[in-house]
Amino acid sequence: MKDAALNPVHFDHRKEAEFFKTLKKRVNGFFSDNEISKYGNTQMYLKTAGILSIYLVPYFLMVSGVVTGPVPLLFLLWVIMGFGMAGIGCSIMHDANHGAYSNSRLVNKIMGHTVNLIGGSAINWKIQHNVLHHTYTNIEGMDEDIDPGPLMRLSPHKKWLPAHKYQHIYGWFLYGLMTFLWLTTKDYRQLFRYKSKGLLKGQKVKLASQLLRLILGKIFYYIIFLVIPIVTLPIPWWLTVLFFVAMHFTTGLLFGCIFQTAHVMPPSEYPLPNDSGQMDQNWAIHQMMTTQNYSPSSRIFAWYIGGLNYQVEHHLFPSICHVHYPKIAGIVRETAGEFGVPYRSTKNFLLALYEHGKMLKMLGQRPIPVAA
């Protein structure tokens, strides 16, 4: 929120403030009454070991020579690693970078840097996700999650291009390229952009030192997860590169589907500030207007994606570890009903994907000019 103060958009915290005040009291009461920590527990630590194993065990089986073929089996192991990468992003680094994994800052910092283990940048993630996305959800020009590039129109306020008519078809492929952008240009462009906006100060980092860490981190990642497999696997180098691409495409597609189905949906709203940068809503009400859950009854799915199917609870209480979201979801839903605040949820993930596809198609249509 310190970084957010550098930006010209402000919420009216006096409006409908009683909703969030009451909700926080009830949620805090749940943890105190049951003597439960809001941070991670044994369940979270076991999950961490499991998710890291999905990513690292196939890797070591291949580079150690335990598994040398056949080629389809090697391909399968790389795809499994892609699922492990997505699991790390959703279940481990996500909570840690929100300060929700542990009550220890050091542990959160260490686990937050697991994003570097999958080719990303912890600092960039914190700014894009924690600061910009969580503060300015679905606000055009502020939330970078709805601005992945010119080929995707994820907001009705974004400039329309003729290619957008087909984004409901090609958009899924672009989602698959998400982590490739981390590895190539995106992290560097973001770092310089955040420097120009003064957003690095809130993370207490300097451009030069962070740029050096970024470069060294990318080199380390490429050596470990591309160069070493090329050298050690008994298959042509180009096949290893192809499998590496398949791993990242798997991760990117999963990330796109998991995160965008919570905000780019038919019921989602896209409020804009007035000319002075003032929003009409309270921040908590804004989150309820722009966020929705999906597949709330699937425990296995929630386990794998780090409770991100409970996006409403996550956006309201990002500092609470996701293992507790199913327990507080009822409190949030009931309180929202009492205050007449929207609480949106889609029955299952497949239906959420279908609805997201419909939204992509709708946003891809040429806007009807407003008569003067």
Tell me if 66 is assigned to some domain.
yes
The two three-digit tokens of residue 143, written as one number:
């939330």
Report the domain count for the chain: 1
Residues 314 and 326: beta-carbon distance below 8 Å = no
Q: How confident is the model at residue 84 (pLDDT cuts 50, 70, 90)?
A: very high
The string of pLDDT tens digits covering residues 264-284 is: 999 999 999 998 889 988 999
Per-residue pLDDT at 208: 94
Q: How confident is the model at residue 14 (pLDDT cuts 50, 70, 90)?
A: confident
Distance (Å, rounded) from C-alpha 106 to C-alpha 172?
37
3 pLDDT higher than 50 = no
Containing structural domain, residue 38: 4-363
Tell me if 204 is assigned to some domain.
yes
What percent of the chain has a predicted confidence (pLDDT) above 90?
Answer: 87
The string of pLDDT tens digits covering residues 88-123 is: 999 999 999 999 999 999 999 999 999 999 999 999
Tell me if 80 is assigned to some domain.
yes
Tell me if 259 is assigned to some domain.
yes
Tell me if 369 is assigned to some domain.
no
Tell me if 309 is assigned to some domain.
yes
Looking at residues 330-344, what average pLDDT do you find? 96
Tell me if 371 is assigned to some domain.
no
Amino acid at residue number 81: M
15 pLDDT higher than 80 = no
Per-residue pLDDT at 371: 52
Q: How confident is the model at residue 5 (pLDDT cuts 50, 70, 90)?
A: very low
Q: How far is the CA of 368 from the CAs of 78, 146, 160, in angstroms?
A: 46, 21, 11
Q: Quick one: DSSP state of residue 267?
A: T
Looking at residues 27-31, what average pLDDT do you find? 97
The candidate with the shortest Cα–Cα distance to 101, out of 339, 307, 280, 265, is 307
Packing angle of the helix pair 167-176, 237-260 (nearest 10 deg)? 120
Per-residue pLDDT at 370: 54
CA 65 to chain centre: 34
What percent of the chain has a predicted confidence (pLDDT) above 70?
Answer: 97
Per-residue pLDDT at 282: 92
State the Cα angle at 215 between 186 and 142, rounded to 5°. Answer: 30
**Coil vs helix vs strand at 293:** strand
Tell me if 370 is assigned to some domain.
no
Cis peptide before 8 (omega within 30 of 0): no
Q: How far is the CA of 39 from the CAs of 49, 145, 190, 335, 369, in angstroms?
A: 17, 26, 30, 23, 49
